[in-house]
Amino acid sequence: MRDVAVIGVGINKWGEHWKTSLRDLAVEAALKALEDAKVDAVDSIQIGCMSGGLFAGQEHLASLVADYLGCAGVPASRVESACASGGVAFKAAYAEVAAGLSDAALVLGVEKMTDVGGDEATYTLGTAADQEYECYNGATFPGLYAMMAVRHMHEFGTTRRQLSMVAVKNHDNGLKNPDAQYHAKLTPEEVERSSMVADPLHLLDCSPITDGAAALVLCPLDRAKKLSGHPLVKVLGVGHATDAIALHSRKNLVRLDAVEKAAARAYKAAGVKPSDIDLAEVHDCFTIAEIMVTEALGFAKPGEGGKLAASGATALGGKIPVNTSGGLKSKGHPVGATGVAQILELVQQLRGEAGGRQVRKAKVGLAQNMGGTGGSSTVSILGKA
């Protein structure tokens, strides 16, 4: 297995792009990544997209993207694992380069979500849950995560204010990210006064509907040393796991087993432990998700993720900054692109190119990307080469 580096990154401004198509979003981010990497050709393309068909009426993204990127003939694949599609696409490209199948691989994550109405978007996102046993009976993702939050509060004493502090912190970080969907400072009171979606989750506990794309270029580390004009960033380890898709089939409503397993595999591959991580991008689709994920990653003991968030430890300047990009909550959540953008944030941080949200002396970063209520998850660990 060869050592692998990320030598190029590209992202567009995330938000509501009424006049920009799915293909244009994808190509814009990809061209930026190729320019950043200083390469004009790749050997393979991996595309993370949850549901181009239902959101934008477009499947067969492998052919579409390769064609419109000017790479017709290059082998390309579309990868789907719900909201973890981007993380799994990154894993596939990493494996190709590490195995010697590609000397330059493009990873692209893209989703165009605003071409449908609210009801259609809710239905499309719901396909990441158990259609027969959850959605048929009226469950939605806000409802499912609300059940997780209620149980977490019951078992551990997690408070409404601790949930709010996750949203406040991530919006503070998003103010420093020019590509974030929302640049809006929040107070805990504003979060708690926002419309109730599914008790105890309010509107401002939820990630938004977003259009956007993000891209990366990977190559062997020895080649990166000759190509890249940036500080080198190496992939240290990748973990991947699944769990029961239906929440009612889980052994425990307050543990994310797939995240724990993926993290254990990534830590082992990278030869690091939670205390070695300098910053993390995690899947905060809802505020309770960030709290539970920090526990699953070993940053807090089970049941203490809420206290960790409220303590300031996960803020910029804290012990373990989490979601310096603004996270899904502020940066946005174009579902297929999220996992790729998380890794892009790590690369910018490890290069020292994150501007006002830069983590001082960052050497090792972790990205955790999750599908559904934790039915699938990837954990990727990157470090300075």
Is-same-fold flag (4-117+209-227; 140-207+235-384)? yes
**Spatial separation of the C-alpha atoms in residues 291 and 305, rounded to whole Å:** 5
**Spatial separation of the C-alpha atoms in residues 100 and 268, rounded to whole Å:** 22
Q: Catalytic one among 17, 49, 71, 83?
A: 83
| pLDDT tens sequence for the chain (385 residues) | 999 999 999 999 999 999 999 999 999 999 999 999 999 999 999 999 999 999 999 999 999 999 999 999 999 999 999 999 999 999 999 999 999 999 999 999 999 999 999 999 999 999 999 999 999 999 999 999 999 999 999 999 999 999 999 999 999 999 999 999 999 999 999 999 999 999 999 999 999 999 999 999 999 999 998 887 899 999 999 999 999 999 999 999 999 999 999 999 999 999 999 999 999 999 999 999 999 999 999 999 999 999 999 999 999 999 999 999 999 999 999 999 999 999 999 999 999 999 999 999 999 999 999 999 999 999 999 999 9
Question: Would you state the pLDDT for residue 252?
Answer: 95
For domain 4-117+209-227, give the CATH number: 3.40.47.10
**Spatial separation of the C-alpha atoms in residues 145 and 332, rounded to whole Å:** 18
- DSSP, res 359: P
**pTM score of the predicted model:** 0.98
Domain 140-207+235-384 top-level CATH class: alpha beta
Q: Catalytic one among 202, 230, 283, 333?
A: 333
Where along the chain do its domains lie?
4-117+209-227, 140-207+235-384
Q: How many CA atoms lie within 13 A of 225 on its CB side?
A: 5
**Spatial separation of the C-alpha atoms in residues 266 and 90, rounded to whole Å:** 14
Identify whether 333 is a catalytic site residue. Answer: yes
Identify whether 202 is a catalytic site residue. Answer: no
